[in-house]
């Protein structure tokens, strides 16, 4: 496994953790904390998508 693949796997693990935390907070009635984790998850997803695209572009060249 390459270094970049390990980094992307770590990012997806963080996304899974953030999503689970958001679900837990929403289910306990803590909407503000749930929203914070949801927004964080979306931001990490966008960054992971950008990183994945950059890595693919570098592989093609």
- CA 36, CA 30: separation in Å to the nearest integer? 10
Domain boundaries, the chain: 3-58
Whether the Cβ atoms of residue 57 and residue 27 lie closer than 8 Å to each other: no
Residue partners of 51: CB distance under 8 A and separation at least 6: 7, 8, 11
pLDDT digits (tens, 9 = 90+) for 18-41: 999 999 999 999 999 999 999 999
- pLDDT in the model for residue 60: 64
Joined together, the tokens standing for residue 14 give: 């963080």
Q: What is the pLDDT of residue 31?
A: 92
pTM: 0.70
Category of 29 on φ-ψ map: left (φ > 0), alpha (ψ -120 to 50) or beta: left
Instruction: Considering only residues 39 and 59, tell me which one the structure prediction assigns the higher pLDDT.
Output: 39
What whole-number percentage of the chain has pLDDT above 90? Answer: 38
């Amino acid at each position: 496994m390459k270094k970049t693949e390990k980094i992307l796997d770590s990012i997806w693990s963080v996304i899974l953790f953030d999503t689970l935390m958001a679900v837990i907070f929403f289910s306990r009635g803590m909407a503000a904390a749930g929203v914070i984790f949801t927004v964080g998850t979306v931001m990490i997803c966008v960054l992971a998508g950008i990183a994945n695209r950059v890595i693919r572009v570098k592989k093609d060249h």
